[in-house]
Amino acid sequence: MSELLFYREGDGGISTARVDDQGTFTNLKDGRVNPNWTRITPA
């Protein structure tokens, strides 16, 4: 299973998702953060 973070720089839109071992994509949550991030670090 993999967890993903999508980020749209212009307006700070974010979306998290999960892809399971069979390849099924599941959107988890959408939101907003400050725009114009230059780095995203895995935790």
Whether 18 shows a pLDDT value over 90: the answer reads yes
In sequence order, the 6+-apart residues with CB closer than 8 A to the CB of 17 are 3, 4, 6, 25, 26, 27, 28
Q: Report the predicted TM-score, pTM, of the whole model to 2 decimal places.
A: 0.78
Confidence of residue 28 (pLDDT cuts 50, 70, 90): very high
